[in-house]
Amino acid sequence: MTKKTATSVAALMAIASGMVLAPVAFADSSSHDDELHTALAPIPTSKVTGSGTAMVHLKGNQATVTIKTQGLLADAPHAQHFHIGAKGQCPPASAAKQHNGQLSLNTTDGLPFYGKIGASLTTTGDTGADHSALAVDRFPKGSAYTYHRTITVDDETAKSLRDENAVVVVHGIDFNGNGKYDNVLGASDLDPKLPSEATNPALCGPLKMAPAAAVAGGMGGTQSADTMALTAAGGLLTAAAGTLYLRRRSSRQS
Amino acid sequence: MTGFRPRGRRGAYTAAAIAFTTSALVVLATALFGQHPPPAPPDTARAASIDEPRTPAPRSSPLPRSEPTVIRIPKIGVRTQIEKVTRSADGSVDMPTDPDHVGWYTGSVTPGETGNTVVVGHLDSRSGPAAFYGLGTLRKGSRITVTRRDGSTAHFAVTAMEVWAKDGFPSRRVYGPTMTPTLTLITCADWDDDRHTYRSNLVITAEPTTSPPGGADRGF
């Protein structure tokens, strides 16, 4: 019993010290590396059937970004950004509106969900939200591409990434399936000189922290069978002894 | 009548004592001669190559987002509730609070959506088998269905089984995003008698399939 009490006290102390130390460990989260990832799924109503994946390794304000796509419009540039500062979500089909008589979802329609641009994921040069958002000559081209680049993001974007509030959006759709960007949905809501198809969101994915390490999916209750059986058998034998006592008592009474 | 009652009571007590003692002996005998450790996954699960491609062509179109409620695995008699779980303090995925439930990692997509859905479950609790106790008996082609909040059902078939040691666990491969809908089930494997802990994780990969003809898992 003394040993058991000592063990309980030790366990309590371990739990208590963990509770004290845990907040200290978490307070330091911005200095270690963070890994985020997401699958890129088609925007509803966009007629896109492609998909993709995105991974971001974040160290301070340095973001190493890897994006893979498939099934996008071939031979066409695809603008891609971190969007930040809204719900950290991709827009549902209900966010679509009539554009040039067609139910579709342009970049502005998605803003309440994924937010404004935090960084432009260009292949070379500037990655800012203001100057490079529609730098069509510096974005990846083609239906399936792999993009890999380390960029510096501003504090707001870094914080949004760490808060799991940033969203990767890849733009450029072929709504009428004619193999090129045209004005079937009218002019772009972002730049009237461009067709809406060229800037409409195609693929989207909310960036979430990637889990690391194996899970603790077992406690061993089916492994220490001896202990379990002894406990059970012990209980049953106690019950047997109890009934024998009652038997003796009841025979004395008679 | 008065003479009969005590004898009747004595008889009942005798019978009860014998029953309890016999049960105790049976429990002990079972423990000694018939231990039932969790079913082991096939040996091929341990020969998994890290370069193996894991995303073949999609077999049915992805579903829109809708959170999962119930998972069914007919082969091992699993039909249980799905809890929501988040990332644990050590960076891994938390376990469901009820060992008989499984946990859907909320940082992963919902089942049937484009991407990798992560579902974790206990192999055993402190007192006995838990939700994913029988996971090791699944084989390629075993069916898994997940009911979603919107009333739709996502159907999957097992395509791969891998056992990975906890030290050197390939987190990116197991948790990483995929271009097509994928269901990843994770539980423990490889009991370490000395350290009283599981050494490995069993990782089951399943991919979308059409619903079975005639509703083979109806009523389950």
Classify residue A251: in a domain, yes or no: no
Cβ contact, residue pair A244, B13, below 8 Å: yes
What is the pLDDT averaged over residues B97-101?
94
Classify residue B28: in a domain, yes or no: no
Nearest to B91 among A211, A239, A253 (CB): A211
Cβ contact, residue pair B65, A92, below 8 Å: yes
Classify residue A25: in a domain, yes or no: no
Chain A residues whose beta carbon lies within 8 Å of the beta carbon of residue B32? 229
pLDDT at A138: 97
Cβ contact, residue pair B188, A215, below 8 Å: yes
Domain count across chain A: 1
Cβ contact, residue pair A210, B176, below 8 Å: yes
pLDDT at B58: 44
For residue A36, the chain B residue with the least C-alpha distance is B176
> How many alpha carbons lie under 13 Å from residue A3 in its C-beta half-sphere?
0
Residue B213 banded pLDDT, cuts 50, 70, 90: low
Chain A residues whose beta carbon lies within 8 Å of the beta carbon of residue B126? 219-221
The boundaries of the domain holding residue B119 are 43-208
From the list B116, B120, B124, B111, the residue with the least C-alpha distance to B93 is: B120
- % of chain B surpassing 70 pLDDT: 73
Chain A residues whose beta carbon lies within 8 Å of the beta carbon of residue B122? 217-219
Measure Cα distances from A253 to A245, B10, B12 in Å.
Answer: 12, 11, 16
Nearest to A236 among B27, B64, B191 (CB): B27
CA distance B49 to A19: 40
The boundaries of the domain holding residue A172 are 34-209
Classify residue B14: in a domain, yes or no: no
Classify residue A84: in a domain, yes or no: yes
The CATH number of the domain holding residue B204 is 2.40.260.10
Classify residue A141: in a domain, yes or no: yes
Classify residue B33: in a domain, yes or no: no
pLDDT at A238: 65
Query: Which of A219, A248, A251 has the most B C-beta neighbours within 10 Å, making it the best mutation to test the interface with B?
Result: A219
Q: Which of A30-39, A91-100, B150-159 has the lowest mean pLDDT?
A: A30-39
Chain B residues whose beta carbon lies within 8 Å of the beta carbon of residue A91? none
A128-176 tens-digit pLDDT:
998 899 998 999 999 999 999 999 999 999 999 999 999 999 999 999 9
Domain count across chain B: 1
Chain B residues whose beta carbon lies within 8 Å of the beta carbon of residue A210? 107, 171-172, 175-176
Residue A197 banded pLDDT, cuts 50, 70, 90: very high
Classify residue B34: in a domain, yes or no: no
Nearest to B13 among A25, A217, A246 (CB): A246
Return the exposure string of B103-133: e unless at least 16 CB atoms fall within 10 Å of the residue's CB, then b. bbbebbbbbbbbbbbbbbbbbbbeeebbbbb
Whether the CA torsion B46, B47, B52, B56 is positive or negative: it is: negative
Classify residue A187: in a domain, yes or no: yes
Classify residue A242: in a domain, yes or no: no
Classify residue A112: in a domain, yes or no: yes
Cβ contact, residue pair A211, B87, below 8 Å: yes
Nearest to A237 among B18, B20, B107 (CB): B20
Nearest to B24 among A53, A92, A233 (CB): A233
Classify residue B4: in a domain, yes or no: no
Classify residue B52: in a domain, yes or no: yes
A53-93 tens-digit pLDDT:
999 999 999 999 999 999 999 999 999 999 999 999 999 99
Backbone φ, ψ for residue B28 (5° rounding): -65, -45
Chain B residues whose beta carbon lies within 8 Å of the beta carbon of residue A87? none
CA distance A3 to B200: 32
The CATH number of the domain holding residue A165 is 2.60.40
pLDDT at B41: 78
What ipTM, to 2 d.p.?
0.74
